[in-house]
Amino acid sequence: MIKTIKICGDPILRQTSDPVEKVDGYVRNLVADMFETMVRDRGVGLAAVQVGVPLRVFIVDTSAYGGSRLALINPTITRRDGTQLGDEGCLSVPGLVGQVERAYTVGFEATGLDGEPIAAEASELTARAVQHENDHLNGILFIDHLTPDRRQAISRQLKRFKKNWKRIERGELGVESIVQDLDQGLGL
């Protein structure tokens, strides 16, 4: 079932997510719903907290770009190597993109949907997505990694998100109207 994605300004996005105690039908259904939601919204990653469930679960699917499809429960990044600078966006901050420096390769451990431990590594776009989604589990958004100048440039748009998130969630205001304002304000 497609879930509603929480938008910047919703306080849940700034919470630290709770560990998953048991991989059960609820968690597997949540992950299936998250994949369906992510595909609909054309993302490459989605954390459970972004759909209002503050559990340490996220998904990544960079297979269309030569990467991996992952569902990670209680993930931990164990190693970061190298650096890469690239554009990031977020389904919870629609319409905004910014340059973020991330590790080029990450090692990580997690639990899989089968309840078994996973230890793996990822590089390039998959590493970027793993780091981005892992940040969500700790209440961190990609905008927190932007340079002070870039944050200042988008401060008006971020205030608008924060001011309107309840109206967006109730369906009184469409995300599209804020994205259109962003496009005009940023000269896109």
Give the catalytic positions in this structure: 133
3-state class (DSSP) for residue 37: helix
Terminal CA-CA length for the chain: 33
Please check whether residue 49 is in contact with residue 6, taking contact to mean a CB–CB distance below 8 angstroms.
Answer: yes
Q: What angle do CA 12, 86, 175 make, to 5 degrees?
A: 40
Strands (E), the chain: 45-47, 57-61, 69-81, 84-88, 98-102, 105-111, 117-123
